[in-house]
């Protein structure tokens, strides 16, 4: 998505006015382009994923399959995993570029919108090794909340190393 | 002799002197009469002389002048003669009178004065001594007087003796009567005080009975009123029971309606769930459309706008359904609360109904009990009124008794007073009798009346 195309597909807060909260991270901004993000939350934690990684969204009907995994299991919520409940579980089909598709069950889809890359902050170098291992690559401040940007592909690499 | 007796001045003149004086007067009068007669006889010599014992008259006639002169002369002569005669007669009369007086004095003194003096001396020294006697020295009137005096003294002696005995008996009986009257007076006083106490107690009893009668009457009225109120209460409670039943039925019906409302709300909820599902699916479709629009790039921008609008619409539908669900949930909660409240109310009404039924039955029982109580109170009131009337009659009777006892006590006191007076009089009588000396046995030696009494 190009923020300069003029049509804003995302809410105004996609171009965050909170960028002043993270002034030290301005130097880490990649560029001024916008990024179409799919926002959701699991167990009260807000996440965002590049909409390009999602090919389909469907309602979770309770099925179980090898290509279907729960987001919180993959993200290793740890001791809090037992207490995770999904209010409106939704199956997101991940576009991997392969024939085999993988699906992730997420919860509480909030929005699909364009966000300026200036609003996205990367993790500090000190934390990058730890976050990238779990597929988290950045933070998007939005409405006073932290949206953790996740890469589903990286996330699936733990289970499916063939995706490397 | 002049002396006082009973504040009267009595001039005592000796009998001798009286007799002497009387005789003197008689003789003098006789002498004077004789003299006058003589004079008259002498004066009538020239005219007529009445020759006694013959009843015929001798008379002669002369000239008046001569007669006058002769008369004058004769008168002078006669006067002289008369004077002389008078003087003679007077002298003779006086002499005779003196002799007679002396003789009379002697006779009176001997035969009248002395016996009378003896009698007088006996009387003077009487000193209430009935044993004394007057000496009878003559057989004439004085002696008879003395004899009769002795006779009467003797009778008086007997009488006084009898009187003394009777006085003693009277004194004794009066003493006995006085002591008996004292006892009777004491008993009467105690009886009077006891009757007064009983009367006072009966008056209090009567007063209390009156108060009890009044109170029992009040209790009867209260019991009757309570009975009426209880009956009314029972009827009201019964009506209340019916109303409670109606309320219960109404609540049951309302409960059914509420349950139906809840059921229908749940049905609405199901519909809302369907709508929600549709909205979610629509939202997913919109998300997918947005994804496709994003992947389509510029060509998919319009589609993306549509997708966004559809997602917004879905969001608004979801939001609305959420609100509706919230409202329905609130309605369901309210319905549940209402159902619970209604069930609780129904339960309470059931309990109230039971209590009301129980109360009705108890009231019905209490009506019977109050009826019996009212009847008993009425009986008590009647009995108390009869008791009050009886006690009033007893009080009146006691008052009469009290009055009678008071009169009896007064009579006894009067009798006691009279007895005391009688005793006093008997004492006085004894005192008077004692003063007479009758010389009975057991005397004090001086012939005084015995002082024995009660």
Kindly report, residue by residue over A20-54, the tens digit of the pLDDT. 333 444 444 444 578 889 999 888 889 999 988 88
| CA–CA min distance B357, chain A (Å) | 54
In a 13 Å sphere around the CA of A44, the CA atoms on its Cβ side amount to 5
State whether B107 and B229 are in the same domain.
no
CB contact, 8 Å: B303 with chain A? no
If you ran DSSP here, which 8-state letter would residue A52 be given? G
State whether B187 and B250 are in the same domain.
yes
| Helices of type H across chain A | 71-75, 128-133, 152-156
Residue B353: pLDDT band by 50, 70, 90 thresholds? Answer: confident
Q: For residue B270, is it within any domain?
A: yes
Size (chain B), residues:
454
Instruction: Give the whole-angstrom CA distance, residue A16 versus residue A37.
Output: 13
Contacts of B295 in chain A (CB under 8 A): 52
Q: For residue A76, is it within any domain?
A: yes
Contacts of B280 in chain A (CB under 8 A): 59, 88
B50: pLDDT strictly greater than 60: no
Size (chain A), residues:
164
Give the burial string for B235-263 (b: 16+ CB within 10 Å, else e): eebbebbeebeebbeebeebbeebeebbe
Residue whose tokens read 């002497």: B20
CB contact, 8 Å: B282 with chain A? no
pLDDT one-digit tens code per residue, B162-202: 888 888 888 888 888 888 888 888 888 888 888 888 888 88
Q: Which residues contact B44 (CB under 8 A, 6 or more apart)?
A: B50
Among A43-47, B138-142, B318-322, B354-358, which range has the highest average pLDDT? A43-47
Residue A81: pLDDT band by 50, 70, 90 thresholds? Answer: low
State whether B375 and B231 are in the same domain.
yes
Instruction: Give the whole-angstrom CA distance, residue B302 versus residue B306.
Output: 6
Provide the residue range defining the domain that includes B6: 1-48+60-116
Provide the residue range defining the domain that includes A79: 30-163
A59 and B294: CB-CB below 8 Å? no
Q: Which two tokens stand for residue B243?
A: 């109303």
State whether B189 and B43 are in the same domain.
no
Q: For residue A14, is it within any domain?
A: no
- Total domains in chain B come to 2
Residue whose tokens read 């109360």: B359
State whether B64 and B208 are in the same domain.
no
Residue B447: pLDDT band by 50, 70, 90 thresholds? Answer: very low
- Total domains in chain A come to 1
Q: Which residues contact B245 (CB under 8 A, 6 or more apart)?
A: B353
CB contact, 8 Å: B304 with chain A? yes
Q: Report the sign of the C-alpha dihedral through residues B267, B273, B275, B277, in that order.
A: negative
In a 13 Å sphere around the CA of B439, the CA atoms on its Cβ side amount to 9
Cβ atoms A140, A120 nearer than 8 A? yes
Dihedral, CA of residue B380, residue B386, residue B391 and residue B393, to nearest 10:
170
Q: How far, in Å, are A65, B71, B151, B354 from residue B64 at the CA level? A: 236, 9, 75, 176
What's the mean pLDDT in B326-341?
Answer: 82
Q: For residue A18, is it within any domain?
A: no
Contacts of A7 in chain B (CB under 8 A): 301, 305
Q: For residue B188, is it within any domain?
A: yes
Q: For residue A63, is it within any domain?
A: yes
Q: Which two tokens stand for residue A104?
A: 């992730």
State whether B337 and B232 are in the same domain.
yes
More confident residue, A39 or B126: A39
Q: Are strands A102-107 and A68-70 parallel, antiparallel or unpaired?
A: parallel
Instruction: Give the whole-angstrom CA distance, residue A114 versus residue B115.
Output: 198
| CA–CA min distance A160, chain B (Å) | 24
CB contact, 8 Å: A7 with chain B? yes
State whether B74 and B211 are in the same domain.
no
Q: For residue A23, is it within any domain?
A: no
If you ran DSSP here, which 8-state letter would residue A123 be given? P
Rounded to two decimals, the ipTM of the complex is: 0.71
Q: For residue B146, is it within any domain?
A: no
- What residue in A sits closest to B291 (Cα-Cα)? A51
- Tell me what pLDDT residue B54 has: 55
CB contact, 8 Å: A109 with chain B? yes
CB contact, 8 Å: A124 with chain B? no
Contacts of A38 in chain B (CB under 8 A): 287, 291
> What 3-state class would DSSP assign to A84?
coil
- Tell me what pLDDT residue B55 has: 61
Q: Are strands A45-50 and A145-150 parallel, antiparallel or unpaired?
A: parallel
| CA–CA min distance A104, chain B (Å) | 15
CB contact, 8 Å: B314 with chain A? no
What's the mean pLDDT in B226-255?
Answer: 86
What's the mean pLDDT in B258-282?
Answer: 84
* CB-nearest partner of B294 from A5, A52, A56: A52
- What residue in A sits closest to B311 (Cα-Cα)? A111
CB contact, 8 Å: A108 with chain B? no
- Tell me what pLDDT residue B35 has: 65
CB contact, 8 Å: B294 with chain A? yes
CB contact, 8 Å: B295 with chain A? yes
In a 13 Å sphere around the CA of A149, the CA atoms on its Cβ side amount to 20
């Amino acid at each position: 998505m190009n923020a300069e195309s003029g049509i804003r597909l995302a809410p105004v807060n996609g171009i965050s006015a909170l960028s002043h909260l993270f002034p030290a991270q301005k130097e880490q901004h990649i560029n001024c382009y916008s990024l179409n993000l799919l926002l959701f939350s699991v167990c009260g934690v807000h996440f965002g994923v590049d909409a390009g990684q999602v090919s389909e969204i469907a309602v979770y009907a309770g099925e179980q399959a090898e290509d279907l995994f729960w987001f919180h299991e993959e993200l290793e919520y740890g001791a809090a995993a037992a207490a995770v409940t999904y209010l409106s579980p939704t199956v997101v089909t991940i576009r991997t570029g392969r024939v085999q598709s993988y699906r992730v069950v997420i919860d509480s889809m909030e929005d699909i919108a364009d966000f300026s890359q200036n609003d996205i902050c990367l993790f500090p170098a000190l934390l990058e090794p730890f976050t990238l291992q779990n597929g988290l690559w950045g933070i998007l401040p939005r409405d006073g909340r932290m949206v953790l940007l996740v890469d589903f592909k990286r996330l699936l690499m733990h289970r499916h190393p063939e995706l490397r | 002799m002049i002396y006082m007796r009973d504040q009267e001045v009595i001039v005592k003149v000796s009998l001798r002197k009286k007799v002497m004086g009387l005789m003197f007067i008689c003789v003098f009068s006789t002498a004077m009469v004789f003299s006058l007669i003589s004079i008259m006889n002498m004066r009538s010599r020239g005219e007529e002389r009445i020759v006694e014992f013959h009843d015929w008259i001798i008379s002669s006639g002369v000239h008046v002048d001569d007669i006058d002169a002769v008369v004058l002369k004769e008168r002078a002569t006669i006067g002289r003669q008369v004077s002389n005669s008078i003087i003679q007669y007077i002298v003779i009369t006086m002499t005779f009178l003196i002799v007679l007086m002396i003789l009379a004095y002697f006779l009176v003194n001997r035969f009248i004065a002395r016996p009378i003096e003896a009698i007088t001396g006996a009387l003077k020294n009487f000193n209430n001594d009935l044993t004394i006697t007057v000496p009878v020295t003559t057989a004439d009137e004085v002696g008879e007087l003395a004899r009769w005096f002795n006779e009467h003294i003797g009778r008086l002696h007997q009488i006084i003796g009898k009187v003394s005995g009777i006085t003693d008996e009277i004194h004794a009986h009066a003493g006995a009567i006085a002591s008996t009257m004292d006892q009777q007076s004491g008993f009467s006083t105690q009886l009077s005080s006891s009757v007064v106490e009983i009367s006072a107690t009966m008056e209090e009893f009567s007063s209390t009975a009156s108060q009890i009668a009044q109170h029992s009457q009040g209790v009867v009225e209260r019991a009757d009123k309570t009975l009426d109120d209880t009956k009314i209460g029972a009827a009201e409670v019964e009506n209340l029971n019916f109303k409670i039943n109606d309320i219960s039925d109404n609540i049951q019906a309302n409960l059914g309606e509420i349950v139906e409302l809840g059921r229908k709300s749940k049905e609405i909820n199901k519909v809302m769930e369907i709508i929600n599902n549709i909205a979610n699916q629509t939202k997913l479709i919109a998300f997918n459309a947005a994804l496709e629009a994003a992947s389509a790039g510029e060509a998919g921008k319009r589609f993306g706008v549509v997708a966004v609008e559809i997602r917004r619409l879905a969001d608004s539908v979801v939001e609305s359904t959420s609100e509706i669900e919230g409202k329905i949930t609130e309605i369901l909660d309210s319905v549940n609360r209402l159902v619970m409240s209604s069930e609780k109310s129904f339960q309470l009404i059931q309990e109230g109904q039971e209590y009301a039924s129980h109360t009705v039955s108890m009231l019905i029982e209490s009506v019977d009990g109050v009826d019996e109580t009212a009847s008993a109170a009425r009986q008590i009131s009647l009995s108390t009124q009869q008791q009050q009337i009886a006690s009033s009659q007893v009080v009146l009777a006691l008052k009469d008794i009290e009055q009678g006892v008071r009169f009896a006590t007064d009579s006894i006191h009067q009798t006691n007073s009279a007895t005391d007076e009688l005793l006093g009089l008997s004492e006085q009588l004894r005192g008077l009798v004692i003063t007479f000396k009758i010389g009975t046995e057991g005397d004090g030696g001086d012939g005084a009346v015995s002082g024995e009494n009660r």
